[in-house]
């Protein structure tokens, strides 16, 4: 099997998980070269690495470069991404800088791997909540077109990076000790609370945040459905890992819960967990650390014609970021694109 030289820009929560995923899936990596701000020796996912200072020349000889910044982080792919492409490297970017760029495919391999065929060397990983949502919606949309959906997301703190994980942990411990819970990663205490704001307000969508806008524009691009009507509310919740999403969907024709379960059960990367009588439904604790998106609470939505409601949960660091990026590289190799 051909071996590939792999670069990894950033070793936070997502970068660390990418190394785990590369090893778990036996990705044919001849070399894993970690790039960061400064040279040092680091233990990442149980392995020792010599970290290389990021520079244009540091990408020389690499076949793939994963930009592993936390969602919303800016700069690395803007600074080095297209230059790395010029040096013969395939860039797979976890950030949002180029997702809506017409030159850049926005890819969930189980949903639209064909978008890779005309790549220009730069591929974008969708937002974590978009990935987890569309893993559930795309199999249904392929069978019966979706006209509209309304989604509320319940997003874990790991989506904000390691600092937010540590903050939730510290706030829970402070509460248990009867001490004041200090907030810095978020504008308010996150422990035992919900914050209905993720991202900044979007000027072109009054009242909506940047995270809510991503669900709209990214879903349309990935599904090839520019007219699809979408409304989202994104909420940060006191959960360490996994995002949960509640959907109300309007189809072009009727879809029964039984049909939906059958379509989802056959979809790669999806598990149907849907037996309320037995207390079985998707939960963040069950999705955390796993690769599949869990879908359940599938039921009619009688508030609209051809309506269906469902609930999906997936690990935002795994399938929502690291795993999806590695799967993009695997799909490119399988399609003979690298």
Same fold, 4-126+321-334 and 130-316: no
128 is catalytic: yes
- Residue 150 main-chain phi, psi, to 5 deg: -115, 130
Integer angstrom CA distances of residue 86 from 62, 102, 217, 246: 11, 18, 28, 42
**Under 8 Å CB-to-CB from 245, ≥6 apart: which residues?**
129, 132, 133, 136, 151, 152, 153, 154, 311, 312, 313
Strands 243-251 vs 146-155: parallel, antiparallel or unpaired: antiparallel
Please state which of the ranges 93-97, 259-263, 322-326 shows the lowest mean pLDDT.
Answer: 93-97
Q: Where are the domains of the chain?
A: 4-126+321-334, 130-316
Q: How confident is the model at residue 11 (pLDDT cuts 50, 70, 90)?
A: confident
In the prediction, which pLDDT does 70 show? 53
Q: What is the mean pLDDT of residues 308-327?
A: 98
Q: What percent of the chain has pLDDT over 90?
A: 93
pLDDT above 50: residue 119: yes
The overall average pLDDT reported for the chain is 95
Total-model pTM: 0.96
The domain covering 4-126+321-334 belongs, at the CATH homologous superfamily level, to: NAD(P)-binding Rossmann-like Domain (3.40.50.720)
Q: Are 122 and 328 in contact (CB under 8 A)?
A: no
The CATH fold assigned to 130-316 is Dihydrodipicolinate Reductase; domain 2 (3.30.360)
Of 128, 141, 188, 194, the catalytic one is: 128
Token pair, residue 224, equals 């090839």
Residue 89: active-site member? no
pLDDT of residue 72: 42
Across the range 225-254, mean pLDDT stands at 98
């Amino acid at each position: 099997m051909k071996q590939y030289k792999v670069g990894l820009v950033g070793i936070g929560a997502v970068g660390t998980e990418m190394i785990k995923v590369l090893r778990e899936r036996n990705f044919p990596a001849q070399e894993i070269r970690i790039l960061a701000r400064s040279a040092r020796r680091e233990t990442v996912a149980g392995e020792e690495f010599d970290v290389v200072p990021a520079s244009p020349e540091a990408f020389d000889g690499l076949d793939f470069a994963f930009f592993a910044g936390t969602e919303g982080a800016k700069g690395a792919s803007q600074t080095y991404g297209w230059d790395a492409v010029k040096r013969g490297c395939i860039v797979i970017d976890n950030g949002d800088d180029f997702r809506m760029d017409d030159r850049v495919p926005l890819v969930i391999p189980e949903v639209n791997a064909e978008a890779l065929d005309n790549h220009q060397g730069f591929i974008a990983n969708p937002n974590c909540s978009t990935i987890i949502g569309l893993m559930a919606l795309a199999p249904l949309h392929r069978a019966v077109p979706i006209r509209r959906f309304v989604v509320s997301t319940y997003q874990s703190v790991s989506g904000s990076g390691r600092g937010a994980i540590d903050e939730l942990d510290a706030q829970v411990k402070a509460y248990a000790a009867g001490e004041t819970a200090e907030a810095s990663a978020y504008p308010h205490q996150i422990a035992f609370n919900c914050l209905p704001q993720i991202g900044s307000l979007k000027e072109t969508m009054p009242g909506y945040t940047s995270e809510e806008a991503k669900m709209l524009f990214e879903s349309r691009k990935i599904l090839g459905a520019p007219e699809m009507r979408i409304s989202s509310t994104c909420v940060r919740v006191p959960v360490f890992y996994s995002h949960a999403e509640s959907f109300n969907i309007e189809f072009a024709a009727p879809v029964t819960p039984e049909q939906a379960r059958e379509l989802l059960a056959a979809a790669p990367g999806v598990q149907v967990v849907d037996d309320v009588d037995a207390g079985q439904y998707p939960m963040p604790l069950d999705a955390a650390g796993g690769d599949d998106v869990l879908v359940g609470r599938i039921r009619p939505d009688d508030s609209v014609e051809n309506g269906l409601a469902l609930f999906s949960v997936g690990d935002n660091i795994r399938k929502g970021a690291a795993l999806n990026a590695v799967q993009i590289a695997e799909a490119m190799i399988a399609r003979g694109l690298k």
